[in-house]
Amino acid sequence: MSKQELLHQVIYSVFVRNHTKEGTFRGLESDLDRLRGLGTDIIWLMPIHPIGVEGKKGTLGCPYANRDYRSVNPAYGTMDGIVINPAAYTHTSVAILDALKAVSIPAVEVHISDVDARESFRQISYAGLACVKTIKGHGFAGYQEAMAFLKEQYSH
């Protein structure tokens, strides 16, 4: 997506803890259709990391004072999968491949454009080697398709 295209997208910022009565990812998931109906194109998750305890303010603490940038706050629930668009790192980043292989949850690779229609070197995806599915050329709908796939295949 170009900067110009991004200017015309509606970004909805979500603080999971306060967004629904449950304050969980499942609660947010049940509200996605409503958010889409508002014209939302992109959902920006506010900090989802475990909240630090040192100097904690109040009983809940400040979400920006997190203790581990690599973890998800267990109060929000668990993640069933990863949806990743490695973009320009698709064909160069072994680090992303290693990170995807290091986690124990399934990942779906998404590309807004059809990367198969680009130069041959751009058609090689290191991240895709660790993904259970790759979706290409479906625009932003590819993200929804990826989430639906993960939900259908891996929900408990």
For residue 62, pLDDT beyond 90: no
Secondary element (H or E) of residue 18: helix 16-19
Instruction: Give the mean model confidence (pLDDT) for residues 119-148.
Output: 89
State if pTM tops 0.75: no
Rounded to whole angstroms, how far apart are CA atoms 128 and 131? 5
Query: Measured on CA atoms in the order 43, 30, 143, 108, is the torsion positive or negative?
Result: positive
The set of residues, in sequence order, having a beta carbon less than 8 Å from that of 141 and lying 6+ positions away, is: none
Rounded to whole angstroms, how far apart are CA atoms 142 and 149? 10
The mean pLDDT of the chain is 85
Query: Measured on CA atoms in the order 45, 60, 75, 52, is the torsion positive or negative?
Result: positive
Degrees to nearest 5, angle at CA 45 with 41 and 78: 115
CA-based Rg of the chain, rounded to a whole angstrom? 17
What stretches of the chain adopt beta strand conformation (E)? 11-14, 42-45, 82-84, 107-111, 133-136
For residue 106, pLDDT beyond 60: yes
Query: Which of 57-61, 64-68, 112-116 has the largest mean confidence?
Result: 112-116
Q: What is the pLDDT of residues 82-103, one digit of tens each?
A: 899 988 888 888 988 988 888 8
pLDDT tier at 2 (50, 70, 90 boundaries)? low
Rounded to whole angstroms, how far apart are CA atoms 19 and 25? 10
